[in-house]
Amino acid sequence: MAANPRDVLLRPLITEKTAQMMQENKYTFKVAMTANKIEIRQAVEEIFKVKVLAVNTMRVMGKIKKMGKHSGRRPDYKKAIVKLAPGQTIGFFEGL
């Protein structure tokens, strides 16, 4: 595992879709590309003091963006959807 669980979880992803998933006790995070499901589970449990039931991960490929005649590419990233045990929440997301 990475030395620090905060190196595994980079930031939360908050969109309309992820806000709806919070109703089902699922929370979405942008995670390190090298992180695996076990490391993500341990990091969430340690940082937020909750019980994780499941972790689903996916790699998101960056889009190509154009600015006039120049084109660039957004970076690829990995995201994780974490399902918590019933009755548990992550206070960071509350109030959204």
Residue type, 49: K
Q: Residue 1: pLDDT above 70? A: no
Angstrom distance (rounded) from CA 82 to CA 96: 18
Contact of 35 with 44, CB cutoff 8 Å: no
Output the pLDDT for position 92.
Answer: 73
In the chain, where the domains are located: 5-87
Residues 31-80 have pLDDT tens digits of: 999 999 999 999 999 999 999 999 999 999 999 999 999 999 999 999 99
The domain defined by 5-87 carries CATH number 3.30.559.10: no
pTM of this structure = 0.87
Measured over the CA atoms of residue 13, residue 14, residue 17 and residue 21, the dihedral's sign is positive
Q: Using 50, 70 and 90 to split pLDDT, how confident is the model at 96? A: low
Output the pLDDT for position 3.
Answer: 66
Measured over the CA atoms of residue 20, residue 46, residue 36 and residue 54, the dihedral's sign is negative
Q: Is 24 helix (H, G, I), strand (E, B) or coil?
A: helix
